[in-house]
Every structure is written in structure tokens, then in C-alpha cells.
Amino acid sequence: MNEHVIKKTWLDQAKQLTPELHQQKVYPERMVNVVQDEGAFQGWSIEPVGSAARVYDQILKKGDCITLDFGTHHVGYVTLSLRNVRSNADAPLRLRLTFGEMPCEVGEDFSEYKGWLSRSWLQDEIINVDVLPGTITLDRRYAFRYLKIDVFETSIRYDVQLTDLYCTTVTSADLAAVPPLRAGIDPEMANIDRVAVQTLRDCMQTVFEDGPKRDRRLWIGDLRLQALVNYETFGCNDLVKRCLYLFAGSRLEDGRVGACLYEYPEPYVDETYLYDYALLFVATLYDYYEATGDRNTLEELWPVAYEQIHIALARLNEQGIVQDDDTWYCFLDWHDELNKQAGAQAVLIYSMRRGLKIAHELDLVDQEAWMNVQIERAVNAALAYLWDEEQKYFISGKERQVSWASQVWMILAEVIDGPIASALLERLEHHTNAVGMTTPYMVHHYVDALLLCGKKEKALEQIRTYWGGMLRDGADTFWELYNPDDKTYSPYGSNLVNSYCHAWSCTPSYFIRRYLYKDTE
């Protein structure tokens, strides 16, 4: 177990910023069947079989099963009221409840799950009801649209009937606070924005969760993107501040910012350290200050951010390049073949550029001068050792790999500028062997690079193609993973455990509201 660096005063500040959760009762909208359909997303589609009112007309016997559709994605606590019919309940009622964000989760048999993440992430449970009539509220919070109810046991004397069923939703976000979109925005983009906002809303709990189904944790890569969308929508800036203090107040050995942390029973950092995520603490702090002007927080947390830069620089080799071996991990994207060396170098430069702006803002002359030297060194090394002049691409690792992640991050880090960066993106579209992108997280950065190069129409096209593709495939909230060429793709060995409401996929609203459809008045 790593020794953790705990700063209680910062954790106390984070605790004081804990938001109250908004609650709302929502009811099922209809009864449905989930059926296998080769033409549907992941092979499952929905067939309506009755209105919500029919739910309460059903007399359910042992072996019966009904599936309810709540109309859209919700996060909250489910309450059921039931009564016995025919005779008294002389034995406990036993039900299995299966919750699904997508049809596949209530269509497929969980007993055949072969993913490498814990089976306990799959959303189902067996409940026993000893007293009927009765009302029960499940202790566990669920993220779902669909609820399947299997009647496992009654007795030969009685059947059962639902008399009430609802979900008490929870979120720290208030939809009434979201500014309306500019008049005249095209309907497809307005719909993408609506779903992106709902994605962020369902991930906003007492921290910015990465996903309300799984992992239900605070990850810094997700936080950075959620915060950007939040500044344009809900404006819950104290929640961003709370998350920054949680990361700063609970760190790994040697002061490293961990990749993620848990809230309960008390806030504590996970042992996972990601090279790029720790550096993005710097960018998240800078973005927060730019959005809020909160100088006190900037001054208090800058030493933590500054330390992450020092820690990251210690990984550079004699050439000034991030050392690539088996002793580290950098995320960038979920892709088994992706080499992370060039991308990590770019994230380092990107984060140092934001650190430079903070040092300048705080009038830290010596640190500003030092940062300028480090940026110049890292940029020169990237151009000398990671740029292949013959191919005209950035290469990564011993195999000199060309990937989308490497090119995109080098552009965001401003290692190359203007016309050169724009031409690189154009060439990249025609590179048939470049390692591609698999997550909305990486696609976000591609859209960001397009906008940095002035390619507004291309950015719009990418949002319509990628996030619009999720909508066309049935998304109520945007997903953790979306590969249009392999719609069952999962880095976890099973699409059942994928998150279908995921923080890093909410960013179309950031682009739409800040850059693409921003009022000029």
C-alpha cells in the first residue's frame, strides 16, 4: 500500500463544498419487450407492448417477467409497492430486478458474462419481500432506462401485483440553470446538445462522476472535460472547486496526483497513477481560474500543480523525451496497440504551457522563467526526435508508430502551428495505417485540434458523424465507447459492462456553446 499525502484542511474545504442533490420522482412510461434484432445496435431492439397503466393491471405469477421503459436515462433510487392477490402471502416473494442503460443489458443473460471487470458492476439484484402488501425502496443507486422484473418465487396460494413503481432521481445539476441555445441552431445540433447536457447532469452527483453506473468515481481526465462543459451550462463551479481540493488533499506518495479517488467512507486516492492525468491537474486548475477568476484557489493549489510538472519532467531521458518502458502508464485512449510516448510528450508540453500562464498570472517571475526553459527543451526534443520529416508525421516508440493521438496532442500542445498543423490533419485523414481513435475522450481532442486549426466546418462534421451516430444508434445519454466499425467493442471483454452515460462524452455542448454557435452580440 502506498503512503498517501493527506492535507486535512483541503479535504475539509472540499467537504464544505458538498452540494445538495436535487430529487424528482419519475415513473415508467410503457411496457416493452426486448428482442434480438440483427439490424439494431448491439443486436437488441425494443418493442412496445402496453402503456404504463398496464403495469398495474398485470397479475404476476411465478415465472412471469415484465420489462418497463422509463422513457430516458435516469440515476436514482427505485421504490416498488406490491400486493398479494388470490390469497395471503404465506411465503416470501422473491424477485430479480435487472436494470439497463441499453437494451442489451436486459436482453442478454448475465450468467454468460465473461468480461474482466467485476460481475458486480452488472446492475441486477434479487430481493425478498416478507410482508405483503408492502413497499420497499432499494438501498443501491441505479443508472438505467429499462427495468426487467422476474418473478422467481411466490407460493401455490398467491400471485402478486404492482401498485406503485417509481424512481427518485438524484443530481447536483439544475436544468433550469442551463442557458438556452442561440436561436436558429439546426435541430440535429440542438438534439446533440440536449443529450450531452443530460449526460453531464446524470454524472453530476456529489462529485463529477465518470459514470453513474461504473465506476462512479472521480477521475481527473473526466473532470477536466466535465468542468469545461459545466462552465457553459450548469455553472456549478463550486463542484469543480470541490473536486480540485479533493485531488490536492489526497495524493499518492511523493506528492503525485492520483488518477482517481473515492468519496466514501472518507475521501481517499486510488493507487493508480497516470502520467497524462496527473499533468492535466494543471490544465484543470487553469481552466477553473479562467472561468471563475477565483485567485485564492489558484494561489493555494498552484504548488500542487507545479509539483506535477516537476514529477513529470523527471521522466525525460537525456534527449528530453518521455522515457517509454514498462515502468509507467499513460492513458490517452483505450487502444491496445497505441504507443503513448509521443502523446505523453505533447500532454507534458500542453500542461506546461498552462502552468506558464498561471505563473505569469501569479507574478512568479522565477517559475515563469524556469517554465519557459522547460517548454523550449521539450518542444525542441519533440521536433528533433519525434518528428519524421520523410513521412511528415510525429512518430512514437521504438516501432516509430503513427497514430491519431500523437498528431492531435502535438497540435494541441502547439509544437507545430497554423498551416503546418492544418496540413498534418488533412494528411492524417488519408493515412490508412495510422492507429485510430476509440473513445469520445480522444475524439474530443481531435475536434479541439480541428478548431485550433480553424477548421470549424470539419469540427461540426465530426460532431454530427460521431455523436450524431450515437443518437442514431439509440443513445439517451452519450457513451464511454463508440466505435462505428465495431459497435460491440469493449476494452473490458464485454459490452455489458460498458458505461452508456459517461462523463468524457458530454463535450459536444462545450464546443457548440463556446465555439460553434456562440452569439457574437
- DSSP letters spanning 61-110: -TT-EEEEEEEEEEEEEEEEEEEEESS---S-EEEEEEEESSHHHHHS-G
Q: Which residues pair with 125 in a beta bridge?
A: 97
Could you tell me if 342 and 410 are in contact, meaning their C-beta atoms sit under 8 angstroms apart? yes
Residue with cell 497524462: 276
Segments making up each domain of the chain, as ranges: 22-171, 185-487+498-514
Q: Are 349 and 320 in contact (CB under 8 A)?
A: no
Cβ count within 10 A of residue 4 = 14
Burial class (CB in 10 A: 0-12, 13-18, 19+), 384: exposed
pLDDT by residue for the chain (521 residues), tens digit each?
A: 445 788 999 999 999 999 999 999 999 999 999 999 999 999 999 999 999 889 999 999 999 999 999 999 999 999 999 999 999 999 999 999 999 999 999 999 999 999 999 999 999 999 999 999 999 999 999 999 999 999 999 999 999 999 999 999 999 999 999 999 998 899 999 999 999 999 999 999 999 999 999 999 999 999 999 999 999 999 999 999 999 999 999 999 899 999 999 999 999 999 999 999 999 999 999 999 999 999 999 999 999 999 999 999 999 999 999 999 999 999 999 999 999 999 999 999 999 999 999 999 999 999 999 999 999 999 999 999 999 999 999 999 999 999 999 999 999 999 998 899 999 999 999 999 999 999 999 999 999 999 999 999 999 999 999 999 999 999 999 999 999 999 999 999 999 999 999 999 999 999 999 998 876 44
Q: In terms of DSSP H, where are the helices of 233-294?
A: 237-249, 275-292
Amino acid occupying residue 267: P
**How far apart are the C-alpha atoms of 107 and 68, rounded to whole Å?**
13
**Three-state SS at 125:** strand
Quickly count: other Cβ atoms within 10 Å of residue 356's Cβ.
Answer: 21
Q: How far apart are CA 493 and CA 516, in angstroms?
A: 37
CATH hierarchy code of domain 185-487+498-514: 1.50.10.10
pTM for this structure? 0.96
Nearest residue to 44 via CA among 474, 363, 502: 474
Give residues with Cβ within 8 angstroms of 420, minimum separation 6: none
Torsion sign across C-alpha atoms 121, 122, 123, 129: negative
Q: Tell me the one-letter amino acid at 417.
A: D
16 SS3 class: helix
Rounded to whole angstroms, the Cα distance separating 173 from 202 reads 8
Which CATH number fits the domain 22-171, given the four candidates 3.10.20.600, 2.60.120.260, 3.40.50.20, 2.60.40.10?
2.60.120.260
Contacts for 291 with CB less than 8 Å, ≥ 6 apart: 227, 231, 237
